[in-house]
Chains A and B, each alone.
Chain A
Amino acid sequence: MRTVEIFLVIVIITGAFLVASFFAVLPSPRQVSPINLRRLALTTLQTLDVNYDLSATMFKTSDDPMWSNLQIALSASLPPNIVYNLTVYEVMSSQDQLYVPTVSISNAESLGIESDAASYLVASSNVTFNVTPEKIGEHGGGGTLYILNCSDANGWWITGYTSQKLADDLYNLLSPYFQSTIMVQNTTQLGKILNGTSLQGETLQNAVVINTFGEAVPIPAGYYSSAGIGYDTARSSYALYCYTLGQRVRQYNWTWASIVGYPLYYVGNTGLFPSDQNGWGIYGMRNVGAAGLNSFLEGLDNQAYVYNGNGITGDSDSDARLASVHLSSDALYYCNYYGVYPSPYQTATRALPTSITSTYHLNVTTYIFDPVGNWLAGAVYRNRASGALLALGVTRTPDIRLTALGLLCDYKPRLYRSEYTVTGTSKLVILQLGQVGGV
């Protein structure tokens, strides 16, 4: 009796096994280990559109020879066991139907039992994209950009350029982002804004001042070069002018931008120093040395003026990695956002030490380059009370795109882009791929 029962159990288990085997159908090897047809389709479309050939073809009439070229290219680029169907849809704006098929090409009657597709949106070359930048200061104070373009001063470490040429380029690059952009045409005008007088009715407070003279800074004759204000009689140095400059930056909450090299290493005025030269044969300039930047930072931090001629910058001798500094990830992101593309790596020979942040109560609000050890090759230093310094301690020749990028990274004005899908100017391309042969 028990044996009979056992045989019944065996019959039941056999039935269970057969039922389980019937439903547990294992997929074919092709399904288990498939080629990613969707990715293959997408990369094929991207390859064919490398020089916008695909985009151009989509807007041609169906009898245009570019269509047969596209078919040839499709057949030539896909593996022999892959068949395709390419369908183009017009993007409509009507409520009834968003996509209307216009052209379809294929090299097989069917795509087999399994296929996959990728979509790709192409735009006509007639489309123009309008980008409106947000103005810095639009939702707050400031919004003025001063570019030092003084005709009565010479620059240093701007080899291959003149300050005026750099000023022009900066104007073209940055003026769309500011409420007003003022070219400071001579040292007299520089003296005026240092006195708090606007040149064209612009807002002086919270402005950005870009010094295009490299390691030199223009100095106005008169008050700002006088003893006790700009000239340190005891030290026979114009470091005091840099101190006063730092105080003004703090007073007006300016952002002072130094485009290359050691900031404020020389002071320049061709009328004031007609027979002085900087030691390298450039007349109209006086050497201030490292005391210039130290004094500026003292002024910026509202510390008492103490003459300090000790150099503070570092180069590849200080840290070998400064020979090749890389743009920070933020800066790289904003390169794409604003379409400003300086070389992603540079050589720093005047990097500033991180210790200045504690000595002068500075916060680094933007890293233009990744920090290297205790060195910062390019950054925006904002004093905790007021005023800021953008310093790019890279070697000459200056790339003013770095200055522009640093400022844009710091202020982050938004870009308002125009509508992309405009009727008749966009088409949707679907490439469907199927695999034939094999199992």
Chain B
Amino acid sequence: MAGSTIDHLVSVTVFLAAILLFIGLFNQTIQTAVLYQRHRYLATKASDMLDNILLTPGNPIEWGKSNSTPTGFGLQDPEFTQYRLSPFSLMRLQSAIGDPLYYGPTGLYYSNITVGFGNFLLVPYSLAINYSTATKLLGINNSYGFQLTIAPIVTVSIEETRSENPLRLEVRVTGAGFPLSNATVSYCFLKVVEKGGQSNPSYTSSFGTIYADGQGSAVLNITGVTSQDSYAFIVYAHISGLTGIGYHERITESERYVIPLIDSFSDRRVLLAHSYDVHNFGPPESAVFYNATFVLLTEDFTLREMPMENSTGKLGKIVYGHGTEKTYQNITIPTFNPGILVITYQSNNGYGVVMMPWGISSMAFSITFGETPVDKEWVATDIRQVLVNGIAYQTKLALWSLEGYPVVG
């Protein structure tokens, strides 16, 4: 009788221990399977969300050209179907990586998508769409986090290989790690013409087309340019449907210069600020005289200068500090066609050129929007090839869940 009882006790104990062990083992397998299902769902969600963003223009459809906050988020160019994005909607996305810039005279912070010296894109936070607004409009607030990266496929780099007359510039055109052999390269060369102190500089422009060699490299010699001249060089390279943009400037005055700040999308108005006013450098400095022009890419891949009326603020002077004169000037871009605002300037007999894209594709600026995916447990990504005003871009969406369940088994 006692042996039977012990047998029962041992067997029940072993049975319960075994059951608990197996429940744990099966549970682990099920948990892992559930996690994989969630990962799969996250990947599907990323793909769907990317299409949602890229294939709808948002509401109102022309929100990129206005100052209003959209009630629906989408980046498609309303004038097209398929994967074509609005260069102006992209301009209104608040950059996740550029350091914001504060400008005292307007009292506003600006989203900074500046690429090196002289290539500015500064959009006031009041006009830029921030990440929080976008998640609410996309209906994923507090449930998913994302980062959207839109970067040009074609990279055009320009190097000055000879600064003396004739100026020699080498253009290299590459794709995603592969050179664009035999690419057609259209260029616009703007040389600043010195007019002496207290006057607006003028400029001369020349246009042309050259061809890249088998290594995607093209060399251009430009006569009449000395090592003391300032200039801007803009290049469009294209081959078999792929188009990329590059630019290069040389300046002789790098302290006192013009910084363009977007003021109104709907009115196409840009503020031109004195560099000392933006960076809050030391004592009052000399005024900067400027001369602005607008260059756009035509359908035949050539660059063309679009005349600006004097009434739009083409010529002017900006001063540092709050005296009787205005600390900044307004300029009105003449069109909603994407192009490049080129501003030649002069201060204390030093010269230079700065540029600002009107439509993000005009200077092939890339934009990173959203939170960083670093340190997130599981991130699903998807990519698409898109066109922004004819320029080839690659769009990548990284998406992760915020719903709190563990995503690593």
Which residues on A are within 8 Å of B, measured CB to CB? 1-3, 5-7, 9-10, 13-14, 17, 20-21, 24, 26-27, 29, 32-36, 39-40, 43-44, 46-51, 53-54, 57, 65-66, 68-70, 72-73, 75-80, 326, 344-345
Contact = CB atoms under 8 A, between A and B. Distances in A.
B241 to A, nearest CB: 4
Contacts of B180: 72-73, 76
The list of the 6 closest CB pairs from A to B, nearest first, reads: A76-B175, A2-B11, A48-B241, A73-B240, A43-B385, A33-B43
Contacts of B8: 2
Contacts of B394: 77, 79
B242 A32 contact: no
B242 A48 contact: yes
A34 B43 contact: yes
B14 A3 contact: yes
A36 B241 contact: no
Contacts of B239: 69, 72-73
B281 interface: no
Question: Secondary structure at chain A's binding surface: helix, strand, loop or mixed?
Answer: helix
8 contacts: A47-B241, A47-B385, A48-B241, A50-B241, A50-B392, A75-B175, A77-B153, A80-B177
Given A2-B7, A10-B18, A73-B239, A47 B78 contact: no
Nearest to A43: B385
A72 B385 CA distance: 16
Nearest to A45: B385
B177 to A, nearest CB: 5
Interface in B41-83: 42-43, 47, 51, 60-62, 78, 82-83
B390 interface: yes
B176 A80 contact: yes
B18 A51 contact: no
B18 to A, nearest CB: 5
Interface string B1-29: 00000011011101100100010011001
Contact of A77 (B22, B62, B182, B385): B385
Contact of B62 (A66, A70, A345): A345
Nearest to A11: B18
A51 B177 CA distance: 23
B40 interface: yes
A40 B176 contact: no
Contacts of A66: 240
A6 to B, nearest CB: 4
B212 to A, nearest CB: 10
Contacts of B18: 6, 9-10, 13
A326 B7 contact: no
Interface stretch (B31-39, B326-334, B344-352): B31-39
Most buried by A among B26, B179, B239, B242: B242
Interface in B144-190: 153-154, 174-182
Interface of B: 7-8, 10-12, 14-15, 18, 22, 25-26, 29, 32-33, 36, 39-40, 42-43, 47, 51, 60-62, 78, 82-83, 153-154, 174-182, 239-243, 378, 380-387, 390, 392, 394
A326 B392 CA distance: 30
A73 B180 CA distance: 7
A6 B176 CA distance: 63
Contact of A1 (B7, B175, B384): B7
Given A33-B43, A39-B47, A21 B29 contact: yes
Contact of A43 (B29, B78, B83, B378): B83
Contacts of A326: 60-61
Contacts of A24: 29, 33
B242 A47 contact: yes
B178 to A, nearest CB: 4
B176 A79 contact: yes
A6 B17 CA distance: 11
Contacts of B242: 47-48, 73, 76-77
Given A17-B26, A47-B387, A33 B380 contact: yes
Contacts of A68: 182
Contact of B33 (A1, A26, A35): A26
B181 A72 contact: yes
A406 to B, nearest CB: 20
Contacts of B381: 33, 35
Contacts of A35: 381-383
Given A33-B39, A44-B385, A72-B239, A50 B22 contact: no
A57 B240 contact: yes
Contacts of B382: 35-36, 39
Contacts of B179: 72, 76
Contact of B240 (A21, A72, A345): A72
B42 A33 contact: yes
